Amino acid sequence: KAGVTQTPRYLIKTRGQQVTLSCSPISGHRSVSWYQQTPGQGLQFLFEYFSETQRNKGNFPGRFSGRQFSNSRSEMNVSTLELGDSALYLCASSPSGSVGTGEKLFFGSGTQLSVL
Amino acid sequence: GNSVTQMEGPVTLSEEAFLTINCTYTATGYPSLFWYVQYPGEGLQLLLKATKADDKGSNKGFEATYRKETTSFHLEKGSVQVSDSAVYFCLSLYDKVIFGPGTSLSVIP
């Protein structure tokens, strides 16, 4: 089985722009969750989607949004980029449950976003 | 609110040394606890997990026991190898996903 695929691998944007990141989960997995990783704040949970519905949300401003398609692929969008949004964005998929069920998460390699 | 605390890094050990990385959690209920590892340039991988009190997770020589009385899930390995050099994250899953800050481990020959 192919793993979790995130595209693009690297992205450079300027302040004020918007960006869309993509995540393709492992085939058959229905849950996709997103995380932001920075040296200062560590790993923080952004949100989780299951069957095209947002099921859980972390403490991020409304500039961060996402969606999930019927094939379980997910996109994350950040509008009006700020310098502090520079980070590695990771997505993870799991077969069926919410992240809160303790089901194993399968992570992608991430998208490294740099905001100049 | 819920939180996860890990020992500060970086940790540098010689090959074959004993490893302990402390992890304590706070939660309103009884979370599932995990250790994930991130090797350089890669995404996170599940190392081990425990879903209830007194459970012991183990994998690749690493072990951690879910201690409800001390709200801890410390990671241990009896003899580390250079290939264990990575960042280790403790994770608490209940109604929220809470990662610890990560502990960087460097093992030198």
| Contact indicator for A14, A115 with CB cutoff of 8 Å | yes
Q: B101 phi and psi, to 5 degrees?
A: -70, -10
Using the Cβ of B57 and the Cβ atoms of chain A, whether some distance falls under 8 Å is answered with: no
CA distance B109 to chain A (A): 27
- Which of A48, A58, A108 shows the shortest C-beta gap to B43? A108
Task: Specify the DSSP element, H or E, that contains A64.
Answer: strand A64-68
CB atoms A107 and B95 under 8 Å: no
CB atoms B93 and A109 under 8 Å: no
Could you tell me which of B84, B100, B93 has the C-alpha nearest to residue B7? B100
CB atoms A45 and B44 under 8 Å: no
- Which of B51, B98, B99 shows the shortest C-beta gap to A102? B51
Query: Chain A residues within 8 A (CB-CB) of chain B?
Result: 4, 33, 35, 42-45, 48, 56, 58, 90, 92, 99-102, 104-105, 107-110
CB atoms B96 and A4 under 8 Å: no
Model confidence at B84: pLDDT above 80: yes
Query: What is the pLDDT confidence band of residue B97, given thresholds at 50, 70 and 90?
Result: confident
Where b means 16+ CB within 10 Å and e means fewer, B43-61 reads bbebbbbbeeeeeebeeee
Measured CA to CA, the distance from residue B14 to residue A82 in angstroms comes to 41
Query: What is the pLDDT confidence band of residue A26, given thresholds at 50, 70 and 90?
Result: very high
Mean pLDDT of chain A: 91
Measured CA to CA, the distance from residue A5 to residue A7 in angstroms comes to 7
Model confidence at A99: pLDDT above 70: no
pLDDT of residue A53: 92
The pLDDT tens digits for B23-44 are: 999 988 888 999 999 998 888 8
Measured CA to CA, the distance from residue A106 to residue A103 in angstroms comes to 10
